């Protein structure tokens, strides 16, 4: 049986990223939330909104429209319910209008998203 609170946290968190608005995602995160980026390291919850703003600014430098809607496109999103209260989410993301793309693994709980870890994709030289 699916957990409505857990599903809502996942949906809200992804929607914030889709829109490029960390303020939307933040309420869906747990107090202990962390975000791991191979380029910038571990981002704590209190740094998350600024990180999303910086990430979006980078995407704009790489060719994304400032008000792209959506900012991120998701494909191949898969949710595995580890238990009634937790889930692991995997998705492929792509910053609209750029070559910036990669993979994300998200651990979520009914009390909020716990962790996200991303990897960037690029063509070999």
124 — pLDDT class (breaks 50, 70, 90): low
Q: Which domains does the chain have, with CATH numbers?
A: 4-121 (3.10.450.50)
Cβ-contact 17, 29 below 8 angstroms: no
For 43, other C-beta atoms within 10 Å of its C-beta total: 19
122 — pLDDT class (breaks 50, 70, 90): confident
pTM across the whole model: 0.94
97, 100, 104, 110 alpha-carbon torsion, rounded to 10°: -40
Residue 28, pLDDT above cutoff 70: yes
The predicted-structure confidence for 31-79, as pLDDT tens digits, reads as follows: 999 999 999 999 999 999 999 999 999 999 999 988 889 999 999 999 9
User: Would you say the C-alpha torsion 107, 108, 111, 112 has a positive or negative sign?
Assistant: positive
Residues 6+ apart with CB under 8 A from 83: none
For residues 97 and 38, give the distance between their C-alpha atoms in angstroms, rounded to a whole number.
Answer: 22
CA distances from 20 to 1, 16, 70 (A): 31, 6, 8
Buried b (16+ CB within 10 A) or exposed e, 53-64: eebbeebbeeeb
């Amino acid at each position: 049986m699916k957990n409505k609170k857990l599903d809502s946290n996942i949906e809200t968190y992804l929607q914030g990223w889709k829109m490029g608005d960390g303020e939307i995602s933040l309420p869906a995160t747990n107090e202990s939330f962390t975000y791991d980026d191979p380029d910038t390291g571990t981002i704590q919850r209190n740094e998350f909104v600024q990180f999303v703003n910086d990430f979006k600014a980078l995407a704009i430098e790489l060719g994304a429209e400032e008000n792209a809607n959506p900012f991120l496109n998701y494909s191949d999103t898969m949710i595995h319910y580890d238990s009634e209260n937790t889930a692991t989410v995997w998705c492929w993301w792509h910053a609209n209008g750029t070559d910036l793309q990669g993979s994300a693994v998200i651990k979520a709980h009914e009390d909020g998203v716990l962790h996200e870890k991303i990897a960037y994709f690029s063509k070999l030289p």
